[in-house]
């Protein structure tokens, strides 16, 4: 088995541990940049999207690549999933509790503090937090003037004490969950850079229930899924993001996680 580990031209501290875990199961992994024209995707038994972290400004190009790659080999997650999941308007249609979201720069509800973000984003890019309603509206109008869909949400303080909980599933099976640090807290320095900075956490029953309800809404077989949950002021868990495209997997936080990811891949490549 030869499998492409789809990456970018930048750092990714999960690349080596994942390739090592694959090799332990006899899967020969090779890093390949998604936008490298020299890669022959048909030379692989599968391609696994991992650190394609530069797709946000080039989404059309990325999705066109995904369709091409899928025509040449097995792509995880499937191109249809990547297409759907790279625009957060999917949150509107899931039928599960999500962070309250106003999808327009006009008629904002009265909230103590606003988060304004584009529907196509990652890593809190072009995202602001403000108590000033006029500023929230102006920023949202600016995004709309660029042809982008806006999302305006109340700032949920729970991310600062309870945190954002990310539950990881490989081939539909729960692997591990981490509490991630808040990203929209000025002056937190390193702590504000949430990626890679987290704490292993056992989800509560209501969080498991919601995560599984969310995943139940997706028809396709998923190699990897990360369900990001936050709590409303009344304690209700809600979905902030379902990451089926290129989630960082926090593998270093759980001893067995990289192996579980490898077993999930092996199982999907050679169904019994």
Ligand X SMILES: Nc1ncnc2c1ncn2[C@@H]1O[C@H](COP(=O)(O)OP(=O)(O)O)[C@@H](O)[C@H]1O
- Determine if 153 is a binding residue for ligand X (CB under 6 A): yes
By C-alpha distance, which of 31, 42, 25 is closest to 5? Answer: 31
Interface with ligand X in residues 41-70 (CB under 6 A): none
- Determine if 155 is a binding residue for ligand X (CB under 6 A): yes
- Determine if 246 is a binding residue for Mg ion (CB under 5 A): no
In this structure, is the dihedral angle defined by the CA atoms of residues 209, 199, 253 and 84, taken in order, positive or negative?
A: positive
- Shortest distance, CB of residue 194 to ligand X, whole angstroms? 6
In this structure, is the dihedral angle defined by the CA atoms of residues 82, 84, 86 and 92, taken in order, positive or negative?
A: negative
- Determine if 119 is a binding residue for ligand X (CB under 6 A): no
What CA–CA distance (Å, rounded) separates 80 from 222?
11
Helix/strand number for the chain, H first, E second: 8, 12
Cα separation values, 224 from 181, 205, 245, Å:
22, 21, 9
Interface with ligand X in residues 186-215 (CB under 6 A): 194
- Determine if 94 is a binding residue for ligand X (CB under 6 A): no
Binder among 78, 182, 203, 247 for ligand X (CB under 6 A): 182
Question: Strands 2-7 and 28-33, how do they pair?
Answer: parallel
| Cβ-based neighbour number of residue 179 at 10 Å | 16
Q: Which stretch binds ligand X (CB under 6 A): 116-124, 206-214, 245-253, 264-272?
A: 116-124
End-to-end Cα spacing for the chain: 16
What CA–CA distance (Å, rounded) separates 62 from 66?
6
Binder among 241, 242, 246, 257 for Mg ion (CB under 5 A): 241
- Shortest distance, CB of residue 228 to Mg ion, whole angstroms? 5
Tokens of 169: 């599933």
- Determine if 122 is a binding residue for ligand X (CB under 6 A): yes
Tokens of 100: 């309250």
- Determine if 27 is a binding residue for ligand X (CB under 6 A): no
- Determine if 237 is a binding residue for ligand X (CB under 6 A): no
What CA–CA distance (Å, rounded) separates 177 from 36?
33
- Determine if 136 is a binding residue for ligand X (CB under 6 A): no
- Determine if 137 is a binding residue for Mg ion (CB under 5 A): no
- Shortest distance, CB of residue 194 to Mg ion, whole angstroms? 8
- Determine if 225 is a binding residue for ligand X (CB under 6 A): no
- Determine if 164 is a binding residue for Mg ion (CB under 5 A): no
Q: In the complex, which residues of this chain contact ligand X (CB under 6 A)? A: 99, 115, 117, 121-124, 127, 153, 155-156, 159, 164, 182-184, 194, 228, 240-241
Q: In the complex, which residues of this chain contact Mg ion (CB under 5 A)? A: 241
């Amino acid at each position: 088995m030869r499998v492409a580990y789809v990456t970018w031209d930048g750092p990714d501290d999960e690349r080596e541990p994942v390739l090592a875990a694959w090799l332990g199961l006899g899967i020969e992994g090779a890093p390949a940049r998604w936008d490298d024209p020299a890669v022959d995707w048909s030379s692989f038994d599968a391609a696994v999207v991992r650190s394609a972290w530069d797709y946000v400004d080039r989404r059309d190009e990325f999705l066109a690549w995904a369709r091409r790659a899928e025509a040449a080999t097995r792509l995880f997650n499937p191109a249809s999933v990547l297409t759907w999941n790279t625009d957060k308007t999917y949150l509107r249609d899931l039928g599960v509790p999500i962070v309250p979201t106003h999808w327009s720069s006009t008629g904002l509800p009265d909230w103590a503090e606003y988060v304004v973000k584009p529907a196509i984003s990652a890593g809190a890019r072009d995202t602001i937090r403000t108590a000033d309603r006029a500023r929230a509206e102006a920023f949202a109008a600016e995004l709309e003037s660029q042809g982008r869909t806006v999302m305006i949400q109340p700032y949920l303080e729970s991310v600062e004490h309870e945190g954002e909980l990310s539950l990881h599933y490989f081939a539909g099976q729960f692997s591990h969950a981490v509490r991630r640090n808040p990203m929209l807290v000025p002056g937190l320095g390193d702590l504000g850079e949430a990626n890679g900075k987290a704490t292993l956490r056992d989800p509560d029953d209501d969080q498991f229930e919601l995560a599984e309800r969310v995943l139940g809404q997706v028809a396709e077989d998923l190699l990897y899924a990360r369900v990001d949950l936050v709590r409303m002021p009344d304690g209700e868990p809600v979905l902030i993001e379902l990451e089926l495209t290129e989630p960082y997997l926090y593998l270093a936080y759980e001893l067995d996680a990289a192996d579980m990811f490898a077993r999930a891949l092996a199982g999907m490549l050679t169904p019994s």
